[in-house]
Chains A and B, each alone.
Chain A
Amino acid sequence: MDDPELWGQIAAANALSDVFAMGGKPFVALNIVGFPVHCEPLELLEAVLKGGQSKVIEAGAVLAGGHSVEDEEPKYGLAVFGEAEKAKIWRVSGARPGDVLILTKPLGTGLCTTAIKAGMADLLDTKPVFDSMARLNDLPRHLDRELHQSIHACTDVTGFGLAGHLLDMLSGYRVDCRLDPEALPAFKGVLDVADLGLIPAGAYRNRELYSSRIDNLEKAPLSLQDLLFDPQTSGGLLLAVDPEAAQAFLELCQSGCAPESRAIGRFLDGTGRIRF
């Protein structure tokens, strides 16, 4: 990532996502900065903060200052405070049999950054990946009361990959989720990146942690398995949606606020496993 303003945008979108994933709206954000003032120009930090601020404003929140320390390498994040009505909070577990699993962004940001590190970015189109990482997960701001209540559970996909975060949604051990391998959205080129062995270490850690709770994993092509375990930066929301409302919800997402949303699976009676 060479563009400091974009880096700031992505870090802020990632930080704001936690409030959105609970169905809430962010109010106040505070910058948290580590910066090597003697090695890097302050203009770089200004660009990072400008990027972050633009996302905080876009999210309808206020940037109320923050804290900075001198550090060996640049670090940037935000502490975000938001509000959700108690009765309307989306929790991570709570999916019901029959619910449709919807993912709002394509997968493969970890594979993409590994390819960039390898100097093989020409294997893929990086712009859609950066655009996606910088996009806010601000779905709750676009839903009317009825659609908001049709979400039975939600989380966001980050470092533990689709597999880890979906298993988190299944942690009540009362439902399983059947994934549709053909429906898994991937950024263009990332499956080729996986086949070339440009797979981040985090994906192997996730595989080791989660593969025992996934049925029929071995039947899927390896690159598709890698997609399931790929750690995401500022990934999409993962939602369990009431089947009656799923179509209307998906259309609303696709028409604007989360254009790459896809239905990727179904919840059913079970014991907390992913079926592939």
Chain B
Amino acid sequence: MTDKILVDARGLSCPQPVLETKAALESARGNTVEVLVDTVTSRENVLRLASRMNWKGTWEETQEGTFRITLEK
């Protein structure tokens, strides 16, 4: 399975991006989860959550100050 689940949490303030990511990880069944956020706080909090749930996380900053976080089991 290579399906990707996208969580677009841009424009949401914490803790909402974390809650949406948590729901996605819980239903991901091993698929890759991609999360878009637009603050450093949200990026770090999503990575903390992922690490706690034993997911590996990487991120890149796309041009307009958006962070794309890729989470894999």
Q: Please list the residues of chain A having a beta carbon within 8 angstroms of any beta carbon in chain B.
A: 114-115, 117-119, 194-201, 204, 222
Residues of A within 8 A of B47 (CB): 197
Contact B14 A200 (CB under 8 A): yes
**Majority SS at the chain B contact face:** helix
| CB < 8 Å A-B pair total | 45
Contact A197 B46 (CB under 8 A): yes
Contact of B14 among A114, A119, A194, A195 (CB under 8 A): A114
Contact B48 A197 (CB under 8 A): yes
Q: Known contacts A200-B14, A201-B39, A204-B40; is A118 also within 8 Å of B48 by CB?
A: no
Q: Who on chain B is nearest to A222 by CB?
A: B48
A196 to B45, CA, bound (A): 8
Expressed in whole angstroms, the minimum distance between the Cβ of B38 and any Cβ of chain A is 13
Interface string of B24-39 (1 = CB under 8 A from A): 0000000000000001
A199 to B48, CA, bound (A): 9
Contact of A118 among B15, B40, B44, B50 (CB under 8 A): B15
Please, could you name 15 A-B residue pairs with CB atoms under 8 Å apart, sorted by A? A114-B15, A118-B19, A119-B19, A194-B48, A196-B49, A197-B44, A197-B46, A197-B49, A198-B14, A199-B44, A200-B14, A201-B13, A204-B41, A204-B44, A222-B48
Give 7 new A-B contacts, CB below 8 A, not counting A115-B15, A198-B18: A196-B48, A197-B48, A197-B49, A197-B50, A199-B41, A199-B45, A204-B41
Contact B52 A197 (CB under 8 A): yes
Residues of B within 8 A of A119 (CB): 19
Contact B39 A197 (CB under 8 A): no
Contact A198 B45 (CB under 8 A): yes
